[in-house]
Amino acid sequence: MKKWLIIPLILIIAISGCVSGGSTGMCKTNHDDYSCSGSISNGEITLSLSPTISGASLGKAYLSSCEITGSLWSCSGRIECEVISAQQPFKVRCPVSSGAYAVTFKFMKTVEPERVSSEPFVRSCDSTPEGKFNCELTITPTFYFKI
């Protein structure tokens, strides 16, 4: 088996094993320096990011429905969730019923013009009327859960 296949396979198995029971789930980020935790209650998903990112706010969150085949999760679709709290702990409301889901969180950060090139994890910056930049962060945690 190719080495590059092992890591995604282990991740999928870990996610499916940790999410198989109850309405709690597994949270993963796309950066090794950050971790997240999440929970769901009455359609409200709460996420905490560690370490916190100074000045970051939740811009959007997207819900995907997932199918589980054996130990593999396959998620598709993208429905925007309602942001309830843009500050940590981040909270969104998504249209969920019974099933398996993934919620991906997209963060924004306002950056001074002289710091845009030195600010880590920013991309797709748009200027503001105040002369600053609203930038999307490349850190995108995803909370996987089954209810």
Q: One digit per residue, pLDDT tens: the chain, 147 residues?
A: 444 333 333 333 344 444 433 445 889 999 999 999 999 998 899 999 999 988 899 999 999 999 988 777 799 999 999 999 999 999 999 999 899 999 999 999 998 888 888 888 888 888 889 999 999 999 999 999 999
pLDDT value for 114: 86
Interacting residues of 128 by C-beta distance below 8 A, sequence separation 6+: 110, 134
Q: Among candidates 27, 1, 17, which has minimal Cα distance to 103? A: 27
Model confidence, pTM:
0.78
pLDDT value for 19: 40
pLDDT value for 25: 85
pLDDT value for 24: 59
89-131 pLDDT, tens digit per residue, is 999 999 998 999 999 999 999 988 888 888 888 888 888 899 9
The answer to whether 29 touches 13, Cβ cutoff 8 Å, is: no
Q: Which residue matches tokens 């370490």? A: 51
Distances 133 to 23, 45, 100, 107, 110 between C-alpha atoms, Å = 38, 28, 36, 14, 5
